[in-house]
Amino acid sequence: MAQERIFSDYPQKTARGNRLVVLPFGTSLEIAFKSIKVRFFRVLITTLSLVLAVSFLSFVDVSNDIANGMLASGDPDLRQSLVRAGYDLGPQDVNVASTPKQRWIIILSLLVCVVGIVNAQLMAVTERFREIGTMKCLGALDRFVLRLFLLEAGMQGMVGAACGAIAGTLFALAGALARFGAEAVQQVGLTDLAVSFAWATATGVVLSLLGVLYPAWVAARMQPVEAMRVEQ
Amino acid sequence: MPETSNVVRVSGVTKSFTLGKIEVQALKGVDLEIARGEYLSIMGPSGSGKSTLFNMIGGLDKPSSGKVFIDEVDIAQLDAYELAWLRCRKIGYIFQTFNIIQVMTALENVTLPMVFAGMNSDATVKKGLRLLEQVGLADRHSHKPFELSGGQQQRVAIARALANDPAIILADEPTGNLDLTTGEEIISLLKRLSQEHRVTVISATHDIKMLNVSDRVVWIRDGRIDKIENREELSISIGKIRVRD
Ligand SMILES: Nc1ncnc2c1ncn2[C@@H]1O[C@H](COP(=O)(O)OP(=O)(O)OP(=O)(O)O)[C@@H](O)[C@H]1O
Ligand SMILES: [Mg+2]
């Protein structure tokens, strides 16, 4: 039997896209999911700062939702209790918005959170040098490594941010219950709550992706031989 | 197609690394031709440039000058996709440190190259199990690497290297982290599989046991090829080494 030439079965397509092995999205997702599962504790710590920042964001948002609900009810007692609670309401105001100070603190906390994620993810990349290098030796393309990290961060962000948003919402509701009573809390619009939740979760996912962008790029650009050199 | 063509041809390859201001020349001009189906060992003292040469042949690193041809194709001319394709389909790597992916089971490790090659998952599992059986780990397929001994991990690595029926297996000190008997088992396994699967095996080593199974041994010293010996000439030098030890 004559041996085959090595490049004889190389896919001869002119368009670059056709030559690529397109790894099914589901497979990437599965690998990313497993990766998270195995490193659960580490992922938990990476995500914790995100949970805190998002829960703060959602706390502020939902508190405002509740205040708006109380104002919208038109009940002068509720309006009065808001003013007593320190809301700066003019006689004509029909809604409350977050104060510049609140916004400033939120932005700051989100910023700190992103820096924390970048830091943790860079460490994760260093830890996984050997794994990434091995995958590249087995034929993984840069874009697969990039996609793996983005998927992991996306999933982490989704779960972490949702948890944070739920926690923030619950805290805000409990706080309002203690301060204004059950009647006040009942005035809150459910759509407002849903919008706040979605907004906080989306912000969290975006932050998580933002934080992993640079580390993922570092991982993807790594040469396989570098990974082999790193001592265990 | 010419039957005599070499599967690997290394031509005038040099490689230098710059460490700060000092330039280290790891390879000082290596010429080497490796025939199809050959079992070739690269021997030499530590720091002689074995791993560096190994990385050049495997397309994991680029020479400073000179060329490496795989099947008469200059691999410096390949783009990222072609290189990934070559690594995935045509070359199987085995490392001293096993490099089994820690978060995956034995079976998942073996099937990963097939996944990268675009095989569907039923086929990968079937083939993965068959390969694990060939390396004697059929009952360990769902174990994680930390539940396996060094020798078992290296078996997984061998199964993984064979996943896409490569033409070349590159092994950098495959027995370097194993004890004597386990090392011997791994060597005979590699030899057997290389014959069954008709692959070319290129292995860097300083393990004398490797010589018994090699068709040819390349002795490398200080970045240069010292001598190349065929199997017939070997017993003499092995004798000498044994005496020296
Ligand atoms: N990335 C690098 N940067 C700088 N110098 C390097 C690098 N890789 C290898 N070298 C140098 O090149 C020379 C050859 O190294 P190589 O790893 O190829 O040796 P080796 O024969 O594989 O040794 P061993 O048997 O210990 O694995 C050594 O002097 C080493 O210091
Ligand atoms: Mg070496």
Which residues have C-beta within 8 Å of that of residue B40, sequence separation ≥ 6? B34, B200, B201, B202, B203, B214, B215, B216, B217, B218
- Does pLDDT of B240 surpass 60? no
Shortest distance, CA A21 to any CA of chain B (angstroms): 6
DSSP secondary structure string for all residues of A53-106: HHHHHHHHHHHHHHHHHHHHTT-HHHHHHHHHTT----TT-------HHHHHHH
**Residues in chain B within 8 Å Cβ distance of A16:** 81
Token readout for A141 is: 């393309």
Tell me if residue B91 falls in helix, strand or coil. Answer: strand
Closest residue by Cα to atom 1, ligand 1, is B17
Identity at A30, one-letter amino acid code: E
- Ordered by where they begin, the domains of chain B are 37-59+77-243 (3.40.50.300)
User: Contact A164/A58 with Cβ under 8 angstroms?
Assistant: yes
Contact A218, A145 (CB under 8 A): no
Q: Find the mean pLDDT for residues A210-215.
A: 96
pLDDT given at position A12: 57
3 state DSSP class of B135: coil
Instruction: Output the 3-class SS for A118-145.
Output: HHHHHHHHHHCHHHHHHHHHCCCCHHHH
pLDDT surpassing 90 at residue B223: yes
Q: Give the 3-state secondary structure of residue B176.
A: coil
Per-residue pLDDT, A19: 52
Short-list B208, B201, B177, CA closest to B95: B177
- Judged by its nearest atom, the ligand closest to the C-alpha of residue B14 is 1
CA of residue B52 relative to chain centroid, distance? 12
Mean pLDDT of chain A, nearest integer: 86
Q: Does B55 touch chain A (CB under 8 A)?
A: yes
Per-residue pLDDT for A228 more than 80?
Answer: no
Q: Which two tokens stand for residue B63?
A: 């020479």
pLDDT band (50, 70, 90) for residue B245 = very low
Task: List pLDDT tens digits, range B5-21.
Answer: 789 999 999 999 988 89
- Angle among Cα B230, B231, B237 to the nearest 5 degrees reads 90
Radius of gyration for chain A, computed over Cα atoms and rounded to the nearest angstrom: 25
User: What is the per-residue pLDDT for A18?
Assistant: 47
Structural domains counted in chain A = 1
pLDDT over 90 (residue A55): yes
DSSP label at B148?
S
In terms of Cα–Cα distance, which of A121, A147, A108, A122 is closest to A47? A121
**Res. A21: pLDDT tops 90:** no
Are A3 and B88 within 8 A, CB to CB? no
**What span, in angstroms and rounded, lies between the C-alpha atoms of A82 and A79?**
5
- B76 to chain A, any CB pair closer than 8 A? The answer is no
Within 13 Å, how many C-alpha atoms sit on residue A77's CB side?
Answer: 5
Query: Which three-class secondary structure state does DSSP give residue B71?
Result: coil
Q: Which two tokens stand for residue A63?
A: 């508190």
pLDDT tens sequence across A71-114 = 888 888 888 888 888 887 777 777 787 788 889 999 999 999 99
Among A2, A21, A142, the residue with its CB nearest the CB of B80 is: A142
Pocket of ligand 1 (CB under 6 A): A 229; B 17, 19, 24, 26, 44, 46-52, 206
List, for residues A32-46, the tens digit of each pLDDT value. Answer: 898 888 888 888 988
Phi, psi of B199 (to 5 degrees): -110, 155
B139 touches chain A (CB under 8 A): no
pLDDT at B236: 58
Interchain contact, A139 vs B117, CB within 8 Å:
yes
Mean pLDDT of chain B: 88
Cα B159 from Cα A77, distance rounded (Å) = 76
Inter-helix orientation angle A190-221/A40-72, to 10°: 150
Q: How far apart are the first and last CA of chain B?
A: 46
Residue with tokens 């996912």: A205
ipTM of the complex: 0.87
Q: Judging by DSSP bridges, how do beta strands B200-205 and B168-172 pair with one another?
A: parallel
Tokens of A102: 């609140």
Q: Is A1 helix (H, G, I), strand (E, B) or coil?
A: coil
Judge whether residue A57 has pLDDT over 90.
Answer: yes
Contact between residue B96 and residue B173 where contact means Cβ atoms under 8 Å apart: yes
Kindly state the tokens that stand for B104: 């995956």
Query: pLDDT tens across A105-161, in order?
Result: 999 999 999 999 999 999 999 888 889 999 999 989 899 899 999 999 999 999 999
> 3-state SS string over B175-205?
CCCCCHHHHHHHHHHHHHHHHHCCCEEEEEE
| Amino acid (one-letter) located at B140 | R
Domain that holds residue A95: 2-229
- Tracing tokens 């912000």 back to the chain, one arrives at A203
- For chain A, give the percent of residues with pLDDT over 90: 49
**What pLDDT shows up at residue A1?**
39
Contact B81 A20 (CB under 8 A): yes
Is A101 at the interface with chain B, CB within 8 A? Answer: no
Average pLDDT over every residue of B178-188: 88
Q: Find out whether B35 and B230 touch, Cβ atoms under 8 Å.
A: no
Half-sphere exposure of A169 (CA within 13 A, CB side): 18
- What was the pLDDT predicted at A232? 46
For residue A183, the model assigns a pLDDT of 86
- pTM: predicted TM-score of the whole model, two decimal places: 0.86
Cα A231 to ligand 2 centre (Å): 12
How many Å apart are CA A98 and CA A232, to the nearest integer?
50
Q: How far apart are CA A73 and CA A66, in angstroms?
A: 11
Where does B87-199 show beta strands of DSSP type E?
A: 91-94, 168-172
pLDDT tens, B112-161? 999 988 888 899 999 999 999 999 999 999 999 999 999 999 999 999 99
Q: How confident is the model at residue A28 (pLDDT cuts 50, 70, 90)?
A: confident
Q: Give the alpha-carbon dihedral of B153, B159, B163, B166, to 10 degrees.
A: 110
Nearest residue (CA) to ligand 1, atom 24: B46
* Residue A25 neighbours by CB distance under 10 Å: 10
